[in-house]
Amino acid sequence: MPVRLLHSTTFRFSLLYMLLFGASVLMLLGYIYWTTAGFMERQTDETIAAEVLSLSEQYRLLGLGGIQRSIAKRLSAETGHDSFYLLADNNQRLLAGNLPSDALREIVPIINERNWLTASFRIGRRHVPIRFHLVALPGNYTLMVGRDITDLRLIQTLIIDSLIWGLAMTMILGLVGGLVMSRGLLSRLESINRTSRGIMEGELSRRVPTDGSGDEFDQLALNLNRMLDQIEVLLASIRQVSDNIAHDLRTPLNRLRSRLEVVLLEERDQQTYREALERTIAETEDILGTFNALLRIAQAEAGTSREDSQLLDMACIVGDAVELYAPLAEEQGLALRMELSSGLTVRGNRHLLSQAVANLLDNAIKYTPEGGEVLVSLTKDGNGCLLSVADTGPGVPEAERGKVLTRFYRLEHSRSTPGSGLGLSLVAAVARLHKASLSLADNRPGEPAPGLRVDLFFPNCV
């Protein structure tokens, strides 16, 4: 775990943040140093330069005696002994000032080209850091003016120590914070990895745990769990479809094979062969129809048909379907009526919507007895539109309404009628693709044959 922690992306980001924060602390303390110690140092230099200028003016006006008296006056008025002076001749003999006579001999070899120097001298019992400015006066005299910068050094040392400790604390806290953050994030990610490994090993019911905080990781876990739920449903659906295909198609395929084998057992006339081939073709078309329906359901559930979506006139689609099935309804002695509101458009796939409406009409006509009625209506409902197909057939019991939307499921009273049990499955898949709600209800509640009303509500209908 420690090795993984140190090599984690979170820890590297924490280190980067620590370096950036350390740089900001360094810049902040550097600015504080420049505005405090730097300001005091510049102020000290300006004070020294002003005194050098004043004493040089005294020498120019009053001569050697005048500058000596001025230095003595300044020293007598100095209470804190922060100022230092030295006036020497060309033999480096002390003429005035409070610095030792050998100070000039120590300073001259190391003085810089600007005649500024910071040096430490023993004054009394202590060493005093002094900032100097040295100038040459006419007559081969040398003047040195300095200030005690002990307080300045203390402030500089304090700021530098604060800088060092601030950087050290920043690095330590950043490192500890990075370790703590990385450990917490790794534990959350490890729970996702454990769940993923378990699912890859076949434990499809495992889900990513959440801590109820509602943070980004909780949202990620919830989305992953919803995705896993959907995958589990799809896998269960695939298994069910496979089982249903094996069960429902095995009988017609065996019947088809048996019929062909019987025909081939002995010589028969051409008419017999023709009739056998026609029945074979009819059953093959039924099998192909089943596979085509499964393919359309798969396309609708996968959402691949969204690429062909466009604004469609629902009244036109429903009207075409009703016109197509009107002869069949008339042939079976049914009254097929429609009540359509014009100008209602839905964004979707024309082929799938037409197929869904056709399946609803086919079911309604198929299960409505002679003399019954089928009503197709399309109305505006709030911000959406409602498509209803209602019949006067036997209806669907409430306990069975969820099941009839699954593939290959058929009610007992409908097993004798032609069909594969995929019609409403396709309608449900098309409804999900178009974000429409699908509901089944009794058309005539309380009657022995309540009929069935299928409602498709499209929320975004203009």
**Mean pLDDT value of segment 104-125:** 70
Does position 443 have pLDDT exceeding 50, yes or no?
A: yes
- DSSP assignment of 39-69, as one string? HHHHHHHHHHHHHHHHHHHHHHHHHHHHHHH
The end-to-end CA distance of the chain, in Å, is 58
pTM beyond 0.75: no
Quick one: pLDDT at residue 376?
93
CA distance 450 to 388: 15
Lowest mean per-residue pLDDT among 4-18, 20-34, 161-175, 393-407: 4-18
Does position 395 have pLDDT exceeding 60, yes or no?
A: yes
Instruction: Give the amino acid at 453.
Output: R
For the stretch 344-364, pLDDT in tens is: 888 888 888 888 888 899 888
What class is the 304-458 domain? alpha beta
Confidence of residue 3 (pLDDT cuts 50, 70, 90): very low
CA distance 339 to 283: 37
Question: Hey, is 120 helix, strand or coil?
Answer: strand
Structure tokens given for 397: 């019991």
Does position 1 have pLDDT exceeding 50, yes or no?
A: no
Enumerate the β-bridge partners of residue 339: 377
Query: Which one is predicted more confidently, 400 or 10?
Result: 400
Confidence of residue 388 (pLDDT cuts 50, 70, 90): very high
Does position 111 have pLDDT exceeding 80, yes or no?
A: no
CATH architecture label of 1-192: 2-Layer Sandwich (3.30)
378: left (phi over 0), alpha (psi -120 to 50) or beta: beta
% of the chain at pLDDT higher than 90: 7
CB atoms < 10 A from the CB of 60, how many?
Answer: 12
Lowest mean per-residue pLDDT among 225-229, 241-245, 300-304, 369-373: 300-304
DSSP state of 369: P
Q: Dihedral of CA 145/151/155/156: which sign?
A: positive
- DSSP assignment of 158-225, as one string? HHHHHHHHHHHHHHHHHHHHHHHHHHHHHHHHHHHHHHHHHHHTT-TT------S--SHHHHHHHHHH
Does position 5 have pLDDT exceeding 60, yes or no?
A: no
CA distance 354 to 300: 13
Quick one: pLDDT at residue 295?
65
Confidence of residue 316 (pLDDT cuts 50, 70, 90): very high
